[in-house]
Structure 1
Amino acid sequence: MTKTEYIAKLTKYLRKLPPKDYEEALEYFM
């Protein structure tokens, strides 16, 4: 799995979180 694919899957799952948590999680994984 490439990093792009990983990020795409990650964002898909993270969208279920509240917006604040979603942004924090994205910053953490980037």
Structure 2
Amino acid sequence: MVVTVVALIVLVQVVQMLGDWLAKRADKRDRH
């Protein structure tokens, strides 16, 4: 279904934004 595809795309976008935000927050302590 189209709704499922859209939901997956939105979910991926949110996860990427969260990961980027967490990486910036943890950047002070440690960097890999």
> What is the TM-score when the length of structure 1 is the normalising length?
0.51
Q: Aligned residue pairs: how many? A: 20
Residue identity in the other structure for 1:12? K
Structure 1 residue runs without a partner (length 5+):
24-30
2:29 aligned with 1:12, yes or no?
no
Superposition CA RMSD, Å: 2.0
Partner in structure 1 of residue 9 of structure 2: none
Q: Larger relative CO (CA 8 A, sep 6+): 1 or 2?
A: 1
Please identify runs of 4+ aligned residues in structure 1 that moved more than 6 A.
Answer: none
- Structure 2 gaps, min length 5: 1-12
The CA deviation at 1:12 is 0.2
